[in-house]
Chains A and B, each alone.
Chain A
Amino acid sequence: MVEFLLLGSMLVLALLALYTGPLRIAVIYFSVFSLICSFLYLYYQAPDVAIAEAVMGSGLITLLYLTALKRYRVYSVCYTNTDFPTVSDREIIEGTRKGELVREIEDFCFARELEPQLVFTPQPVSEVLQSGRHDLIIHQTGDKITIIGNRENYVIDELEMLLVLRYQDLKVLVERYGGSSEYGDDYLPEED
C-alpha cells in the first residue's frame, strides 16, 4: 500500500516537474521527487543508495539547477507606447519620473547581473503579448503604466516588490502573462 502510494506520488511529481512553467518551481518538484525516491530505496532495504540519493538528488542537484537559473541572463524588456507613433528616447533617458522607471529596471538588472535588452515599439500591446518573446513589457497609455511580466521568468516577483515599494506615487500596475495560466489569469489589454 505504502509502496504504491509512493510510486504514484513519484509519477505525479515527475509529470509536475516536466509540465510546470516557472522553472524554479519545477526544480523544487524535482527535489521532492528525489526525496521520495530516496525513501523508496530505504523501503526496498537499500539504505546505502538512499543516503546517496538524498544527498545528491535533493541536495546538490537542486543547488546546481538553482545556480544555473541564476545565470539565466539576457532579460528582454519591451517598451510600448501607443500614444506616440514614434517613441522618443528622450523621455526615457532624461530624468522624468517615468523615465526613471526604465532606469530603475536597468539598475535592478545590473544588481542581479542580468543583461537588459531594451526594445522600443509603437505596436499595440496585444500584438507584443501574442509574440510572447519578451520577459517584461512596459506598456504606457497616458499616465498609466502597466508592467507585464512573463510568468516563466521568476525575476518578475522580485521586480514587482521593488517597484511597488518605490513607485507608489506613479500608477504602476504589475501584471503577468504567458506560461501556464493555472497560476492566475493572463493580463488582457484594453482596446483603445
Chain B
Amino acid sequence: MNTDSSETTKLATLEQTASEELISVMTGLLYPFIAVFGIYIIYNGHDTPGGGFQGGAIMAALFLARFIVAHENDLEVHFVHNLEKFLFALLLIVPGIFIFAGLQMQFPELKIPYLIFMNFLIGMKVALGLTIVVYRFGFFEGR
C-alpha cells in the first residue's frame, strides 16, 4: 500500500513536469530577449520612453520566469535583500555627490552618463525588490 501511494505521488509529479516542460522550454528561449529588452529600456531611458522603473520591472520578469520554470527556492533572498539595501544607499549617495559637490557644474559632459547610471541603479533596485516580493509570497508566506 505504501509503495503504491508513493508511486501515485510520483505519477502526479511526473504529469505536472510533463505539462510544465513546454512552458520551461519556451521561457528558456525568451530569457535573452527579456534581458536585452530590459537593458535597452534602462540604457535609453533618459531620452526615449521607459527608464529605470520600467526596465527594472522587465528585469524582474526575468527572475520571475525562473521562478515559474524551476519552482525551487534556490535564490538566496537574504543576499538579494542586502544587495537591494546597498543599492538604495548608493541611490542616495550618488546624486548627493554629483549634485551637491558641484560636479554637475564642473563637468557638464558627465550628465548623460550620470543619468544612465542612475537609471541603472533604479532598475536594479526595482528588479530585486519585485523579485523579493514574489519569492517571499511564493515560498514563505503561510496559509
Contacts and interface: CB of A to CB of B under 8 A. Distances in A.
Interface of A: 47-48, 50-52, 55-56, 59-60, 63-64, 67-68, 71, 73, 95, 100, 103-104, 107-108, 110-112, 115, 158, 161-162, 166
B75 to A, nearest CB: 15
A52 B57 contact: yes
Contacts of A158: 15
Contacts of A47: 49-50
B73 interface: no
Contacts of A60: 57, 60-61, 64, 130, 134
- The 7 tightest CB contacts between A and B, nearest first, are A47-B49, A55-B57, A111-B12, A51-B54, A107-B8, A48-B49, A111-B9
Interface in B100-137: 130, 133-134, 137
Interface of B: 1, 4-5, 8-9, 11-13, 15-16, 41, 49-51, 53-54, 57-58, 60-61, 64, 67-68, 130, 133-134, 137-138, 141, 143
Given A64-B137, A71-B143, A104 B57 contact: no
If over half of A's interface residues share one DSSP class (helix, strand or loop), that class is named, otherwise mixed; here it is helix
A95 B64 contact: no
Contacts of A48: 49-51, 54
Contact of A162 (B4, B15, B57, B67): B15
If over half of B's interface residues share one DSSP class (helix, strand or loop), that class is named, otherwise mixed; here it is helix
A128 to B, nearest CB: 25
Nearest to A115: B143
Nearest to B16: A111
A59 B68 CA distance: 12
A47 B50 CA distance: 8
Contact of B54 (A55, A71, A73): A55
A7 to B, nearest CB: 22
B138 A67 contact: yes
Nearest to B19: A158
B134 A63 contact: yes
A55 B15 contact: no
A56 B12 contact: no
A63 B50 CA distance: 22
B10 to A, nearest CB: 9
B49 A51 contact: yes
A60 B12 CA distance: 28
15 contacts: A48-B51, A51-B58, A52-B53, A52-B54, A56-B57, A59-B57, A59-B64, A67-B134, A67-B137, A68-B137, A103-B1, A107-B12, A108-B12, A112-B12, A162-B15
